[in-house]
Amino acid sequence: MSKAAVFFLALALLFGGGYMMYMATRSTTGDDIQLNKVSYNLASDEDAADALKEMEIAQDTKWVEDFSLVKRTNDGFDSSELRGKVWVTSFFFASCPSSCRQQNQTIGTLYRSLAKDGIQFVCITVDPENDTTERLREYADNFTSDVKNWMFLTGEYEYIRRIGSEKFQMAVGPQTHSSKLAVVDKWGNVRGQFSWDDDSELIALKELTSELSNETQEPQEYIEKRQQLHENLESTIIIAPESDGSSEAESDAAVNEDRSEATDEIESQTAE
């Protein structure tokens, strides 16, 4: 089977999951948003409604490009807010005993060097059930008090997994994540990935952020890649799996397994 055929087969499998499982784990009461059994208290009913709407729209897309999560300040976050800025993204979880802390200490060094040039930093937890906004505030205080230029985000696990695999082409699992830092350009394109524990790669990361900061037009190749992705998505038919009487948990597990296998195949093709 050709690589192209494998890619489109994997893409079709990835889109074949059911999105109803997202809706079943979310509810609103007053000024609370509840995702995956974690409550995020927002400032008002209006803020709660707006944040929930953004999350539902984002999670129901075929392929994650822009995404919506919740900041440690309890404010909603949409990655489209960073249009016109260069940003660095990483994944972590607060209870990680060593490597995540070292990773964020390294990001702190980058932040002190690059934030003055307008570079933004976005850290996304892979353990949202435990990493509530309150927990993230406590954790982030160890590294920065700057809530504007260095953001710590949480949300719903399955959606965060999709953000990792679809947006950033990084493997994300329960309390498991890539050690790469992704650099995103002013138009939301991922332009490079770098290991936080490799000094030579960190130098390359700084050089890339400087180069991207000076760009005034989106490179044509990334415009074409996005157009091709949209054409592929439009031609993909989503078929909801029929119920065979199995439990909801078994059904959800099967959907997650199919999506995970498809994502692994896409990431393998991308790496090649």
Give CA–CA dist 167/177, Å, rounded.
Answer: 14
Q: Determine the pLDDT at residue 60.
A: 62
Q: Which amino acid is located at 112 in the chain?
A: R
**What is the helix (H) or strand (E) element at residue 37, kind and residue range?**
none
Which residues, at least 6 apart from 147, have a Cβ–Cβ distance to it below 8 Å? 71, 72, 73, 140
Q: Give Cα 105 to chain centroid, integer Å.
A: 21
Give 151's Cβ-side CA count (13 Å radius).
24
Q: Outline where 74-198 has alpha helix (H).
A: 99-114, 133-140, 157-162
How would DSSP label each residue in 113-148? HHGGGT-EEEEEES-TTT--HHHHHHHHTTT-S-TT
**What is the helix (H) or strand (E) element at residue 90, kind and residue range?**
strand 87-92
Q: Determine the pLDDT at residue 13.
A: 46
Domains of the chain: 3-243 (3.40.30.10)
User: Looking at the chain, how many residues does it have?
Assistant: 272
Task: List the strands of the sheet with 38-41, edge to edge.
Answer: 26-29, 32-35, 38-41
Q: Hey, CA dihedral for 152, 128, 261, 9, is it positive or negative?
A: negative
Q: Tell me if 17 sits within 8 A of 258, measured CB to CB.
A: yes
Q: Determine the pLDDT at residue 234.
A: 81
**What is the helix (H) or strand (E) element at residue 71, kind and residue range?**
strand 68-71
pTM of the predicted model as reported, rounded to 2 decimal places: 0.68
Q: Give Cα 177 to chain centroid, integer Å.
A: 11
Q: Determine the pLDDT at residue 107.
A: 97
Q: Determine the pLDDT at residue 15.
A: 42
**The dihedral formed by the CA atoms of 43, 44, 50 and 54, expressed in degrees to the nearest 10:** 40
Question: Do the bridges between strand 120-125 and strand 150-154 make them parallel or antiparallel, or are there none, so unpaired?
Answer: parallel
Per-residue pLDDT of the chain (272 residues; tens, 9 = 90+): 444 444 444 444 444 443 333 333 333 333 333 343 344 444 445 555 555 555 555 556 678 889 999 999 999 999 999 999 999 999 999 998 888 999 999 999 999 999 999 999 999 999 999 999 999 999 999 999 999 999 999 999 999 999 998 999 888 878 766 789 999 999 999 999 999 989 999 999 999 999 999 999 999 999 999 898 888 878 765 544 444 444 444 444 444 454 455 445 444 444 44
